[in-house]
Amino acid sequence: MSGKVVWFTALFPYVVLGVLFIRGITLPGAEMGIDYYLRPNVEMLKKPSVWQDAATQVFFSLGPGFGVLMAYSSYNNFNNNVYVDALITSAINCGTSFLSGFVIFSVLGYMSCKSGKPIDAVAQEGPGLVFVVYPEALATMPWAPGWSVLFFLMLMTLGLDSSFGGSEAIITALSDEFPLIKRNREIFIACLFSFYMLIGFFMCTNGGILIMEWLIVYGTTWGLLIAVFCEAMVIAYIYGIKQFVRDLKEMLGFEPGIYWRICWTLLAPAFLLMMILSSFIHYQPLTYQDYKFSPLANIVGIFFALSAASAIPIVGLYKFYNAKGSTVREVSNNLLLVLV
């Protein structure tokens, strides 16, 4: 049953996106918004925040670092062609993002034409664009209730689909680690989604948009970047890129080319390390429009962002110390003696 639901929640947004795209490009002023969208601004590439936002977008859309991809891949057959799956997924994700830009900016051009304001003044960053600007534009169109229902139904299905993926990562990881949860899977899922519901109540308050902005910024910055960087380093230099390539050859029947090896060993770790250092160096206290978050909120956010990454050394040391084999115990005991 859940598989059938996912088919709907995954495909229905594309239907609505196509309808909104056709409607958007036929609106007066849409060409101004599309021109603004497609006109490159090379100067923006000099800003570190742009690269950080791009990395955050990739994390949200493709899901590296969240555990979703590993949870899904754990259900694959051993010889499943993950190479083709990765290429198709990345291409569809890129195409969807590009199409969504037309849907958004065609309507922004319409709003600019209708209000007489430049597009810069009409557009908003973050959730305000989706929950304020776009609904305002829909309200001025003929058959406004119908367009609004379609738009928010699309948002709801997108949210459900994302929630399914994120929840599956949590459920799969904890079920594999703790047999008690695996034996009581239904009860655990009920508790997990009840927790989601309780947290969601806070988003419905007057300050809910601020809480969501806080979670978006501090929940997907340093923690995810550090986690993915560590994952790349472990695969390339601890597990070993040669062994990793041999594993892929055993699964796929062929070895990935030199381009992928360079990406795994050099380009990806270097880019992630630069993003981590840049996010620390150019850190700015969080703001949302005219609202400035308190110093306490920023301090708690920093610890919240780093808490996910802290699990890597903590769990790593725990697993290392409790691993079977006298050599591991001797090395760990010697290290403890030196430190003490």
Is 247 annotated as belonging to a binding site? no
Dihedral sign for Cα atoms in the order 286, 290, 295, 300: negative
Dihedral sign for Cα atoms in the order 299, 227, 272, 161: negative
Is 106 annotated as belonging to a binding site? no
Phi-psi region of 143 (alpha: psi -120 to 50; beta: other; left: phi over 0): left
Is 206 annotated as belonging to a binding site? no
Task: Map residue 288 onto helix, strand or coil.
Answer: strand
Is 336 annotated as belonging to a binding site? no
Q: What is the DSSP string of 162-228?
A: HHHHHHHHHHHHHHHH-HHHHHTHHHHHHHHHHHHHHHHHHHTSTTHHHHHHHHHHHHSSHHHHHHH
What are the helix (H) ranges across the chain? 2-25, 30-38, 48-62, 68-73, 82-115, 119-122, 127-128, 134-139, 144-177, 179-183, 185-203, 208-219, 222-233, 241-252, 258-262, 268-281, 295-321, 326-339
Please state, in angstroms and rounded to a whole number, the distance separating the CA atoms of residues 263 and 258: 9
Is 162 annotated as belonging to a binding site? yes
Please state, in angstroms and rounded to a whole number, the distance separating the CA atoms of residues 322 and 312: 15
Give the per-residue SS3 of 129-172. HHHHHHHHHHHCCCCHHHHHHHHHHHHHHHHHHHHHHHHHHHHH
Name residue 287's beta-bridge partners.
292
Bind-site residues: 61, 93, 158, 161-162
Bind-site residues for Na(+): 61, 93, 158, 161-162
